[in-house]
Structure 1
Amino acid sequence: MKEFIINKNDSGQRVDKFLTKAVPKLPKSLMYKYLRLKRIKLNGKRCEISTRLNENDVMQLYINDEFFENDNTEQVFLSAPADIDIVYEDENILLANKRVGLVVHEDESGTADTLINRITHYLYLKDEYDPDKESSFAPALCNRIDRNTSGIVIAAKNAESLRILNQKIKDRELHKKYLCVTVSVPEKKQAELKAYMIKDESTKMVAVFDKPNDRTKTMITKYRVLKENTELGLALVEVDLITGRTHQIRAHMAHINCPLLGDGKYGSNRINRQLGVKTQALCAYSLRFDFTTDAGILGYLNGKEFTVDNVWFKDKLF
Structure 2
Amino acid sequence: MREINIGKNEENQRIDKFLRKYMAKASLSFIYKMIRKKNIKVNKKRTENHYILKEGDYIQLYLSEETIEGFIEKKEIKKIEKNFGIVYEDKNILLAEKPQGLLVHEDLKENENTLVNQVIKYLYDNKEYDPEVEKTFVPASVNRLDRNTSGIVMIGKNNETLQNLNEMIRNKEDVRKYYLTIVKGNVKDKKELKGYLIKDEKTNKVKIIDSKKQGAKEIHTIYQKIKTNGQYSLIEVEIITGRTHQIRAHLASIGHPLVGDGKYGDMKINKNFKNQFGLKHQFLHAYKIYFEQGIGNLGYLKGKSFYSNLPQKLEKIKIDLFSSSL
Give TM-score scaled by structure 1 length. Answer: 0.89
Pair 1:12-2:19 in alignment: no
Alignment correspondent of 2:151: 151
- Alpha-carbon separation, structure 1, partners of 2:32 and 2:74: 25
Secondary structure, aligned partner of 1:24: coil
Q: 1:162-205 CA distances to partner (integer Å, 9 max, x unpaired)? A: 1111111001111011100113322x243233455443332222
Alignment correspondent of 1:264: 262
Q: 1:106-165 CA distances to partner (integer Å, 9 max, x unpaired)? A: 111033111111111100001000011111111011111111111111110111111111
Residue 168 of structure 2 aligns with an amino acid whose one-letter code is: K
Superposition RMSD in Å: 2.3
- Alpha-carbon separation, structure 2, partners of 1:55 and 1:119: 26
Secondary structure, aligned partner of 1:78: coil
Residue 236 of structure 1 contacts residue 314 of structure 1 at CA under 8 Å; is this kept in 2? no
Q: 1:250-280 CA distances to partner (integer Å, 9 max, x unpaired)? A: 1222233221111011112332222221010
Secondary structure, aligned partner of 1:74: coil
Q: Which runs of 5+ in 1 are unaligned?
A: none
Post-superposition shift, 1:218? 5.2
The within-5 A match list for 1:278-289 is 278-289=280-291
Alignment correspondent of 1:128: 128
Change (3 A) 1:218 1:53: closer
Alignment correspondent of 2:237: 239
Alignment correspondent of 1:275: 273
Change (3 A) 1:43 1:149: same
Residue 104 of structure 1 aligns with an amino acid whose one-letter code is: V
- Alpha-carbon separation, structure 2, partners of 1:198 and 1:190: 25
Alignment correspondent of 2:105: 105
Residue 83 of structure 1 contacts residue 122 of structure 1 at CA under 8 Å; is this kept in 2? no
Post-superposition shift, 1:314? 2.9
Decide which moves more: 270-279 or 37-46.
Answer: 37-46
Residue 10 of structure 1 contacts residue 137 of structure 1 at CA under 8 Å; is this kept in 2? yes
- Alpha-carbon separation, structure 2, partners of 1:299 and 1:207: 38
Change (3 A) 1:29 1:259: closer
Give TM-score scaled by structure 2 length. Answer: 0.87
Secondary structure, aligned partner of 2:78: helix
The within-5 A match list for 1:288-299 is 288-291=290-293, 295-299=295-299
The within-5 A match list for 1:146-225 is 146-172=146-172, 173-186=174-187, 188-195=188-195, 197-208=197-208, 211-212=210-211, 214=213, 219-225=219-225
Alignment correspondent of 1:114: 114
**How many residues in Structure 1 have an aligned counterpart in Structure 2?**
311
Alignment correspondent of 2:323: none
Secondary structure, aligned partner of 1:146: coil
- Alpha-carbon separation, structure 2, partners of 1:144 and 1:136: 22
Residue 32 of structure 2 aligns with an amino acid whose one-letter code is: Y
Post-superposition shift, 1:63? 1.0
Alignment correspondent of 1:301: 301
Decide which moves more: 153-162 or 218-227.
Answer: 218-227
- Alpha-carbon separation, structure 2, partners of 1:6 and 1:198: 41
- Alpha-carbon separation, structure 2, partners of 1:166 and 1:288: 15
